Amino acid sequence: MKIIEDTPDRLVFESRPVLFAFMAAAMALALTAAAIGLFTSGAPGRGLLLTACLVLLAVPMIFVTFERVRVIFDAREGICTLRRRNLRGDGTRTHKLSTVIRAMVQTRKGDGESSDAHRIALVIGADTAANRHPLTRFHVSGPAAETATDRINAWLRATRSDG
């Protein structure tokens, strides 16, 4: 997630997983081209199998990856707004800023040689597993989630000490 605005009154993060979306679209285009090639070269059975793979794998992947998430912490309004925009439509959830306890990093352990992957979640209400709300669908490697989580928690502490 990338910081869009960082002031004492507002903290705004946005996630636009362009790389994931590009990879999903490229996979769909490659499978489509290969299926058309199989149909035109006289292998309709293989073309049909590849089309089924396209429908079962690539299309759902596109619907999942084409998603923009914006999180707005607004001290003046006293609210935290989570906005999601994807191919299925837009959604907005608003929470009182006082109910946002903290941000945390959720980690998915890598297996073997894979590195661990992380995402940011907000704890809204009592600190239980059910109240941990991930901001993105995907886990990514690198320090970005920890950096963003530290910034959110520092902003929340500063906002609460001012009031």
Which residue do the tokens 């590849």 mark?
50
pLDDT tens digits, 74-86: 999 999 999 998 8
pTM for the model: 0.74
- Looking at residue 77, its pLDDT comes to 95
Contact in structure between 133 and 122 (CB atoms under 8 Å): yes
CA distance 67 to 86: 4
CATH code of 2-17+67-162, in short, is 2.30.29
pLDDT tens digits, 24-52: 778 778 888 888 888 889 888 888 888 88
